[in-house]
Amino acid sequence: MLAFFIFSCSKNVEDGYRIDYTESPALLTVTPIGYSTGAINDTIHFAIQAKSDYDIKSLIVTSSVSGSGGSGFTVAQGSTDPLIDHSYGTIQKGTKEFTVNYDYIVTQDTADPAISFKLIDEFGEKSVKQTIVTLPSVKRYANINLFTSSSSRTDGVSTLDSSTYHDLAQYASETSVNKLIQKSIDIIFIVENDTAWIVAPYDGKFSADETFIKNKTRFKLLPNLKKTDFENLKSVSLSAITKNDSVKQKGLTSVPVTVGSIVGFFTDYNSSNSYKAGILRVKAIHPSYCSWYTGKTYQIEMDIITQISK
């Protein structure tokens, strides 16, 4: 009889915890507050509501990828904390209903964490799962300066590392080094008929040699995005803005710009920084002088925010 008792318990208990429960009729809702996507160090917030006809014993949260320090339960100021401890999710005795939040801080962007919320009451258990979609982190490049004197004698920039390349015509010959440079260039500055343009290497406004790799970056003016919005951009908001404005689908390979213009862009699949969203802001455009061009020359100064590879 004793042997049978031990065998029965071993099926229901693992490491001192009961592991098999019947399905509880309790209500358990887990709702993301804001975005359920984020990059490394972003915090994803969940609102949790629980209600049962039976005493609730615990609320256990597990994740396929551990969140960084600071992840855990939070309670709104002025609200009653239903938890005896925040490590194991033990609930105060006699609790049948509560509201609490859970914060998950993203630690890596190579996997999309699955978060499991398990409520255990006197009847059984109720589980809800949420998945966080991770995004590439963003990188900010300030005060990028490009110059141009013609459609062929002009500068370009790589969104991979903000490297600027002067007089692109000098990189047109077919060498291994030049091919790498050409592949990295996503944005080119041109002035045509006194109008400043941001163009892709693919665009016809850029007079490139036949051998030049022509990345087909897409650009779209974002007139509703304010300067303060640009300054506060994070990975998730950058992705949302460029997606909502259909930069990838409706963007063009060239757009006219003036001082203050904010432009969304999406890089070409063949680019060194392939298939990444970004936003740039034009800070200044004016006639200028540089040592590598002769004659009438223009300069543009811009800030760039873009995604970096996962």
- The three state secondary structure string of 82-147 is CECCCCCCEECCCCCEEEEEEEEECCCCCCCCEEEEEEEECCCEEEEEEECEECCCEEEEEEEEEE
Block residue for tokens 């507050």: 33
Gyration radius of the chain's alpha carbons: 27
**What CATH number should be reported for the domain whose range is 13-134?**
2.60.40.3550
Q: pLDDT of 181-227, one tens digit each?
A: 999 999 999 999 999 999 999 999 999 888 899 999 999 999 999 88
Over residues 112-139, mean pLDDT = 94
Nearest of 98, 110, 106 to residue 26 by alpha carbon: 98
For residue 114 the two structure tokens come to: 């699955």
**What are phi and psi for residue 137, nearest 5 degrees?**
-70, 160
Block residue for tokens 């692109």: 168
Instruction: Report helix, strand or coil for 155.
Output: coil
Break the chain into its structural domains and give their ranges. 13-134, 138-307
Nearest of 305, 303, 300 to residue 189 by alpha carbon: 300
| Single-letter amino acid, residue 34 | G
Task: Say which DSSP state 67 is in.
Answer: P
Q: pLDDT of 126-158, one tens digit each?
A: 999 999 999 888 999 999 999 999 999 999 999
CA distances, 85 to each of 68, 104, 307 (Å): 19, 17, 38
pLDDT at res. 236: 87
Q: How many residues does the chain have?
A: 310
pLDDT at res. 34: 87
